[in-house]
Structure 1
């Protein structure tokens, strides 16, 4: 934060401190008085930066208030008074719906509608309704994703620092631009542009070189401690992404495309204030470390917002077993049979919510070292009773002299499960709270959107006019990543995946090649019958985007996947060997 304040020519510093899990992770400790409730790194940033913020009159909007935005706001006000600065502080309230969810479960015995309610392209994961067992699986947090309305009202009343809890990731940026340009709530194209500008910079260094699939083309030293991004938002909602001069990393078309495609919901992206339509997005380099994004249009927001519910789902454990070299596949087959036999004999095989045997890695052919010949078996388990979860390790020891492997194990630990729900926007009690130097608080309701538009059916299609793949000439079998970049991430129980090429001719091939059937084929043995697949195109940036429904189970901390946030999925697909036209490989070698 301090580096952005010192180096960046900025009017606002915005900060997104909250992943899905933050609030739930701290909920029990906060309730017991053992945690401040807010994100401590947010407080660190304010302490380190407050003098520069005051001197340069930079406004600050962050969601680091977490479970306790009021507490962080009061602490910030005390710091300001101690330093003698003239800054006004406000905080946003209304996202905490834990009492509502608990009473709803108690009174009606049903949770709010799931986020995918009405989406015919999604099957709800197994165990989705486990939170109905409120005795053994109590809900610990329930927070609605708020929009920018309260932020705007705070800025209108002179706030210099606005502390939020669970506002949507892009809401601080939307609020800043909305207030700066005095937009109307129905200036949907402008709001949608600011929404996507916020989407580009909310993951900080992800748009300036972090988690970038094209990193192999760059000196690794340039990717250490990279600069954080700046979004220059224009009155029409278009934006230029840049970063402070002299900082490491890069802002190029490819990094911006990667971040644009990250965690999308297809070609329509939802926020509490606006629905952004993305099909015609354009991304172009307009200078050194300067990339312009345009072509976004907007529609009225949906009548519901996301409600993130976390509950204590029981316990989970993993046993890691390693084996080396020749015949490893058969070794793991034998190991699984031995463990299952032992668990069945002990009468607990059917007591697990999840029991999954996952082979991690492949031995290198003709290995150069023993480590390159070694792989792991990951035995992942979840159950209500932690004693049950000690049994896989015991099973391993029971047959300790009958197999080929060595064990490293973890003890059972509690885990939280995620239930993404829908909540009516008109029922939100969203407010801005202005602090006065004397300690009084003025609370102003944020209101609600004046008009909603139901979302409707999601777009899902293969390309309308595919070219015959033979049209592109002779091919060579190489990893798909040799000609295409990509980004992936999680959306609750789903994986999203965007892949793109650099030229129009390569785009003709990619859109014809990357069909839904081909995507399922590339997923290979990881594909399950219950999964669903959604596909759209972004022709002006040469990209295809997929949502793979159900790949992360219930998502986040309750997923059995080793890649529980879906971030590695893109390079898994890029590592697949496919028949690529030779002309594109020659073209790529010249870049």
Structure 2
């Protein structure tokens, strides 16, 4: 089924997380008459629920043998998608809006059944399809058995046979052509499991404009557009270091993004009418720098080259994407492998006022002594102070620091209350002045965690299939032409032609974030962080300042001794860093408060450097 015209397709992003606001799809569909939308896409997947939903599916399969009437685990798709879809269905049908989402998680076929029944219950003529092929554990097992691959971890370099955990599930990141094919057959709603975050946008544009696999420039532009809008509010001002400017623009109801993609691949980013926030060069720069790994940006359908990318402000809340280059996709696709990682628990004390470090040392010594009989069974034990006390505090809460005790072990019994929580809480009467524990003791009980291992699988080993409402299925072949890319992304430790920082005149010590925007995020255990400046004359200063060695200095105690990659995006006045293996094994089993890596940028912006006074005279961020 061909798209209705060759005008640009308007694709709206309604969700960037399983916990995103639920009303965006309804709002976008209901306002179609005033703000037409052709396709609504949504991202419900992350590395956190890739592991948890995988375990849930396996537990459910095991529970098929439990006695009738016993409690069974929940379904392994993302139910919040249904909360978003149901109130929007009437308008989706009325206006002929297409929908593509990855909310199937680890049970896409079941989600397809549920959506199909929901559509029937409303007596709507909507055709529902689903995409499979992302569940690749048998392919991984087969390749291991036949010694075709060692499945090297792309974050750590470890090989799978040396991993300390037993794999139970593997999920590949699929491209967008299955979704496009389903639309071409007449599907109105397509549900998927782990397609890549940008794949629904690639799919919508590919279908709408009847592109071919060889249209690499168009595909690359759609791919970057998908990266920009798949995280819903982010490109409209969410998670943006210029957020203070948004208070007068409705920061209590930040809008949802719309990508307008022309047949030649030209992209314009805007947002839904009447919403808060903004779409600007800076908000687009913020989202572009989120979760990339280097100048080569891979998808199963195309590779986008980012080093000459830039944005142009066309008018209020309308930004054009420029400078994207394209190349062939890699022969492989990313795979996330799940394993049961054991259990973790935590306990918190509150330290207040003076002598915080001494109080923490005293508490740690007392706890460690009581834990001594059990500590050999722990796989991780960490004591951390979180927060600080200002000089001459004016309120007690502001003078309070959280002292956290965190533990992990392979077996739940090794951190049961008598072996972890009791040693943490029992020193209360011999503790530091004001010794006060957190009263939510539930955190001290063992909860399961899941390990996540990131590797690659040949696309030819993936059985990418489309399943139509009629029962018909057909396969999506891998790309006929691919390119084997080097493992190492281009990296430049120091800028070429660095300028002597003394040339920028008088300086004062202050936070980097007074002048510099930044954005960071996670990919497995890796963390990326990108910095950019607003004014052309600040660019030479930024690129000269931010070397790899300067990044190590800024990280200070947070530097874990692992490699750091650096590349520049000169047209964006941006410097990007990839911090290898920085995040303690990733979101699903991290011991860090910052398990998504999003506050790495905020920490670094707070670090003091020598700031040129003439830049500060323009006003601080």
Q: Under TM normalisation by the shorter chain, which class is it?
A: over 0.9
Q: Are 1:183 and 2:211 counterparts?
A: yes
Shift of 1:319: 1.5
Report what 1:85 is aligned to: 124
User: Of the candidates 403, 407, 416, which is equivalent to residue 377 of structure 1?
Assistant: 403
Q: Per the alignment, in what secondary structure is the counterpart of residue 423 of structure 1?
A: strand
Distance 1:28 1:563 in 2: 23
Shift of 1:151: 1.3
Match of 2:9 in 1: none
Equivalent pair of 2:43/2:231 in contact (CA under 8 Å): yes
Q: Paired residue for 1:277? A: 305
Contact 2:220 2:325 in 1 (8 A): yes
1:365 corresponds to:
391
Q: Which of 56, 59, 76 is equivalent to 2:98?
A: 59
1:543: which partner in 2?
574
Distance 1:125 1:430, change over 3 A: closer
Q: CA deviation at 1:104?
A: 6.5
Unaligned 5+ segments in structure 2 are 1-24, 64-71
- Structure 1: runs of 5+ lacking an equivalent: none
From 556, 559, 571, give the equivalent of 1:524: 556
2:202 maps to what in 1? 174
Task: Tell me if 1:2 matches 2:62.
Answer: no
| 2:476 alignment partner, one of 446, 467, 480 | 446
2:436 corresponds to 1:406: yes
The residue number in structure 2 matching 1:243 is 271
Post-superposition offset of 1:561: 1.1
RMSD over aligned CA atoms reads 2.2
The correspondence of residues 122-521 of structure 1 with structure 2, limited to 5 A, is 129-131=163-165, 134=166, 139=168, 141-219=169-247, 222-344=250-372, 346=373, 348-389=374-415, 390=417, 391-404=419-432, 405-408=435-438, 409=441, 410=443, 411-436=445-470, 441-456=471-486, 457-461=488-492, 462-521=494-553
User: What is the distance in 1 between the residues matched to 2:479 and 2:603?
Assistant: 41
1:488–1:568 contact (8 Å) kept in structure 2: yes
- Aligned residues, how many? 572
- Between the aligned partners of 1:149 and 1:495, the Cα distance in structure 2 is 29
Change over 3 Å in CA distance of 1:183–1:503 after alignment to 2: same
State whether residues 152 and 159 of structure 2, in contact with CA within 8 Å, keep that contact through their aligned partners in structure 1.
no
Q: Quote the residue 1:587 is aligned against.
A: 618
Report if aligned partners of 2:47, 2:588 keep a CA contact under 8 Å in 1: no
1:496 & 1:384 partners in 2: Cα distance?
30
Q: 1:109 to 1:429 in 2, by over 3 A?
A: closer
Equivalent-residue separation in structure 2 for 1:541 and 1:297 (angstroms): 15
Question: Does the residue aligned with 1:255 lie in a helix, a strand or coil?
Answer: helix
Equivalence map 1:10-89=2 (5 Å): 10-30=37-57, 31=60, 32=63, 34-89=73-128
Contact 2:353 2:399 in 1 (8 A): yes
Cα distance in 2 for partners of 1:110, 1:358 equals 43
Residues 128 and 236 of structure 1: CA distance in aligned 2, closer, same or farther (over 3 Å): farther
Distance 1:396 1:433, change over 3 A: closer
Provide the rounded CA distance (Å) in 2 between the counterparts of 1:211 and 1:110. Answer: 42
Distance apart, 1:352 and its partner CA: 1.7
Deviation at 1:154, TM superposition (A): 1.3
C-alpha offsets along residues 41-81 of structure 1, whole Å, 9 cap, x if unaligned? 22222221111111111111111122222222233333334
Q: Secondary structure at the match of 2:592?
A: coil
Distance in 2 (alpha carbons) for counterparts of 1:91 and 1:304: 23
In structure 2, the CA distance between the partners of 1:382 and 1:103, relative to structure 1 (3 Å rule), is farther
8 Å contact 1:432–1:446 — kept in the other structure? yes
Q: Distance in 1 between matches of 2:427 and 2:161?
A: 32
- Residue 124 of structure 1 contacts residue 550 of structure 1 at CA under 8 Å; is this kept in 2? no
Question: Which of 99, 114, 133 is equivalent to 2:152?
Answer: 114
Separation in structure 1 between the aligned mates of residue 369 and residue 283 of structure 2, nearest angstrom: 50
Change (3 A) 1:28 1:536: closer
Is this contact kept in 2: 1:97–1:142, CA < 8 A?
yes
Q: 1:186-225 CA deviation, whole Å, 9 max, x = no partner?
A: 2111111100000000000011111111112231771112
Distance of 2:189 and 2:112 partners within structure 1:
8
Between 1:211-220 and 1:350-359, the stretch displaced more is 211-220
